[in-house]
Structure 1
């Protein structure tokens, strides 16, 4: 049985161990991104093939996340956390010594799979070692890691790759993971847990692996293969649709499902998860498009693009402890609404950018957006978990995190597709008004080419392309602004109270269903 008064011998040390492991895991979702060209060159493969370093991690991670509920029911929460962290360290070491792309992709898949349960179990363990009135601070701390780690990933990955070698982006995990697992194992020793022996739901597991795997690969490769003009993408869509339909029907009717979809019967979990997924998708899409636009259209290097976008993490780091401490005194829906207003305002501000925008303005808008992020994760996460029973926390956190991850994958694919498609449409409209037979156009091309009309035409086309992509970027950021404002209405479908059930302290102490 769970025990509501369990406290680790050293609460601060236990918190550090849990947060270090989570920071390491979240960091690894982005740390390899900027190193792909170097990895591809060293292992002798194309840049397209190197993208599987990211895809393999994302696919296996997405599949493993919903299994958190089953694992915690069967083994509790401490053992899966410790073993997942140790295996993550081992997989990281194997990634670093990989001698071929096939080996690296395989080890990255293993790394993603064992990383799956780490975040939701960390969330549950953090809640369990703090009293009810400190629960918000624990969630706020985890929210800060969720924001800062993905931003730090590309910057740290680029610095390590440039100054050392790419294997070190994986080797740095080994001592961190060993230390975190040792600390948590020692601090959580003797923690009571309620265990069950659920039967393995093989139909649910197989359909989950096939459905989510096919969907994740479809999302990752759809843009490169021109979506449904590709036979491969069509087959992936068919397989994903069939497998996920069978999965949903089976899980909703099975007596002992591997993923407890009945958690959506809880009103706050339902609307909180919708808010979490859509809000994160918007945040993720912005975080992807802005550096991409800065590098491809404004000529920024990857390091400078990282520095321009990094200020988004400043205010969350400063304000998160304050938000965590005082947020429970307010209606969490109001705090989330403040977040969405700030996120929408900064999105519309970016919608007024031009190709002449300077570094400082980009960084300033990112800094202000951090205010919205600081008020986003902790209130929304608290709403998501507020009406779950204590023993449902791990499963609910795993399911919500899985859907949030999937939302990020959708956002990544759709962002690039929308941006490029709108850019093509704007380019076509702009060139409708340009005729090579027009004397004014000929004169402009002559001036741009310094007397050479052919060179002038090429320069003019680059100018038109730049303006078309600028207009597409404006369209996307305005769309995000509308999305964030609409989430204010969604979050108010949740109903107070948002205080933890079961006194909070035992909220995650039980691994049972």
Structure 2
């Protein structure tokens, strides 16, 4: 779920991720679509969103299959997820400038076709390095797809029905995370993992053709605007260095490695230079001044850290189920799938009633639910049954419905219409970046905590421990040799250590979710209960 409903609704005439110049790129709005064109346009734009979001989650349950086929460790296989997330995060702030330069429709179609090409390259990748390069390309070209699909969809409907358009758009972003693990698991078990990428080819081609046929005469005005090349270069440098440091740290023994130290210094220095440059640049690629607003800064911290925790757990859970518990990829997908049920059912209800409520209370309920779910998972054992696994996943869907919509409303509340696209782009950039960080940190912490627990458990395995001695004799009485019996005990210790390591991550996540409630209450209540922003965007 590297993308989600937290991609804030943009004005029909504004492009997410742009600076102040973007709204002027669309001085006139085309007439809303009607009849069959409206239906086909909605389906085409929703399919593009679905394909994009699906690809951010479909690989989660396929990591063991990909890692095994390419001959790398599962923790290296998670780079397939994080490389996409980071490249996607970097490209989101460019959406506004690219739209103004090339036009929304042309950019959207090009983005889809390049996404199809990158998907094919992922499928034919012969090794991990090639696959990661293709995933970086895929994430980069996917950046404009989500905000542009939203903007084009809003321009297809009359203002009075903008809420319906956003509801239809939001449903695809919630259905895709359900289908991702299920489809990815089924493909991994019954076909070969490249097909999780090949399926994008026919869908993307059909979507691009349908979108062009309907929207080719609705192109937005274009003009030449300067691009902040230095800001973009600094952005790529510090985000890329940070992610490489997080991904390679565990295999290079962290700060005992010169490479990790250098990457960390480059990331820190690059980030500081980036902040200084963007603060004084006339046409910044990222509008840093937005963080001066209390609602924006506190809301972005809350949604981004929470998304990092959520995404990190989303990576750990299927990995643990397949590598330790022995689930197939399909079974792991089935366990993960219920997360979208309540999310789909409750999102329209929350969206309809949010203007009548204080969005801070709704977001607080979401964090409490996320925290409870994480604490429930922290009590899992190696004998956990499927029903016990699915209950917290099902409950988590309700938290998702109460999480994205209210926090997005808080983040955008009080922003003038010309700032909304920039605020949407920046908040999404930070959130997606934290998703990649969450995946890397979670796998690292899991590995370290599992190693610690393994060492502590092994200390108990000695001839002077009566429990160990009795277990060894019991296994040998069942017909095993002493070496076989010791091997069985070692496997059990490894499973138990991995379970305890995962429990630690879930417990820490639960505590942090409760801490994040404080950031929600640092914000001021939005007018109209937090729904004013959405209304303003629809009317703008």
Same-fold status (TM-score > 0.5): yes
Counterpart for residue 372 of structure 2: 345
Distance 2:162 2:297 in 1: 21
Secondary structure at 1:297 match in 2: helix
Distance 2:475 2:378 in 1: 29
The verdict on how the C-alpha distance between 1:484 and 1:103 changes in structure 2, with shifts beyond 3 A counting, is closer
Worse-matched range after superposition: 99-108 or 443-452: 99-108
Q: 2: CA distance between counterparts of 1:81 and 1:369?
A: 32
Q: Secondary structure at the match of 2:340?
A: helix
CA deviation after TM superposition for structure 1 residue 100, in Å: 6.7
Contact 1:139 1:378 in 2 (8 A): no
Report the CA distance shift for 1:273/1:258 in structure 2 as closer, same or farther (over 3 A).
Answer: same
Q: Tell me how far 1:84 sits from its aligned partner.
A: 1.4
- 2:341 paired residue among 295, 300, 314: 314
The structure 1 residue matched to 2:45, chosen from 3, 15, 18, is 18
* 85-94 or 160-169: bigger deviation: 160-169
Establish whether residue 7 from structure 1 lines up as the match of residue 32 from structure 2: yes
CA offsets per residue over residues 320-359 of structure 1, 9 Å max, x none? Answer: 2332223332222222222222222222222222222211
Query: Pick from 447, 453, 462: which aligns with 1:426?
Result: 453
Contact 2:120 2:197 in 1 (8 A): yes
Distance 2:449 2:121 in 1: 42
CA shift digits 1:375-405 (9 cap, x unpaired): 2122222222333333333332222222111
CA shift digits 1:414-464 (9 cap, x unpaired): 112222222233333344455423455433322233375444444333333
Aligned to 2:386: 359
C-alpha deviations, 1:90-141, integer Å up to 9, x for none? 3334444556766554443322211112223334444555567765655555
Aligned with 1:480 (options 504, 509, 532) = 509
What is the TM-score when the length of structure 1 is the normalising length? 0.87
Structure 2 Cα separation of the partners of residues 365 and 157 of structure 1: 21
Aligned to 2:441: 414
Higher mean C-alpha displacement, 131-140 vs 118-127:
131-140
Are the counterparts in 1 of residues 241 and 267 from structure 2 also a CA contact under 8 Å? yes
User: What is the correspondence of 1:158-237 to structure 2 with a 5 Å cutoff?
Assistant: 158-185=185-212, 187-188=214-215, 197-237=224-264
Give the Cα separation in 2 of the matches to 1:355 and 1:97. 37
Residues 425 and 15 of structure 1, relative CA distance in 2, 3 Å threshold? same
Give the 3 Å change call, closer, same or farther, for CA 12–378 of structure 1 in structure 2.
farther
Residue pair 1:32, 1:54 contacting (<8 A) in 2 also: yes
C-alpha distance in 2, partners of 1:111/1:416?
A: 23
CA contact (8 A) 2:308 2:434 kept: yes
Task: Give the 3 Å change call, closer, same or farther, for CA 296–178 of structure 1 in structure 2.
Answer: closer
Whole-Å Cα distance in 2 between the matches of residues 424 and 103 of structure 1? 30
Aligned to 1:511: none
Q: Find the counterpart in structure 1 of residue 23 from structure 2.
A: none
In structure 2, the partner of 1:269 is 296
1:55 CA drift (Å): 5.2
How many pairs does the alignment contain? 506
Per the alignment, residue 510 of structure 1 pairs with none
Q: Structure 2: how far apart are the matches of 1:64 and 1:194?
A: 21
Instruction: State the alpha-carbon separation in 1 of the partners of residues 359 and 494 from structure 2.
Output: 44
1:505 and 2:538 correspond: yes
Residue 498 of structure 2 aligns with which residue? 469
Partner in structure 2 of residue 117 of structure 1: 144
1:71 paired residue number: 98
Give the 5 Å matches for 1:75-114.
Answer: 75-96=102-123, 104-114=131-141
Cα distance in structure 2, aligned partners of 1:101 and 1:439: 47
Q: Deviations over 1:286-325 (max 9, x none)?
A: 2122222222332212221111121111221222233222
Provide the secondary structure at the position in 1 that maps to 2:435: helix
Match of 2:464 among 437, 454, 460: 437
- Within a 5 Å distance, the mapping from 1:149-164 to structure 2 comes to 149-164=176-191
Given the superposition, is the C-alpha separation of residues 502 and 348 from structure 1 closer, same or farther in structure 2, using an over 3 Å criterion? closer
CA deviation after TM superposition for structure 1 residue 188, in Å: 4.7
Between 481-490 and 125-134, the greater mean CA deviation after superposition: 125-134
Provide the rounded CA distance (Å) in 2 between the counterparts of 1:456 and 1:75.
67
Question: CA-atom RMSD, angstroms?
Answer: 3.2
* Preserved CA contact (<8 Å) 1:204 1:251: yes
- The 1:132–1:421 alpha-carbon spacing in structure 2 relative to 1, beyond 3 Å, is farther
Query: Residue 189 of structure 1: CA displacement?
Result: 5.7
Alignment of structure 1 residues 444-463 onto 2, 5 Å: 444-450=471-477, 452-463=481-492
Name the counterpart of 1:489. Answer: 518
User: Within 1, Cα distance between the matches of 2:285 and 2:95?
Assistant: 9
Q: Is the 8 A contact 1:134 1:325 kept in 2?
A: no
Counterpart secondary structure, 2:57: coil
Note if contact 1:143-1:378 (Cα within 8 Å) is conserved in structure 2.
no
8 Å Cα contact 1:34-1:158 kept in structure 2: yes
Per the alignment, residue 242 of structure 1 pairs with 269
Does the CA contact (< 8 Å) of 1:70 and 1:259 recur in 2? no
Offset, 1:15: 3.0
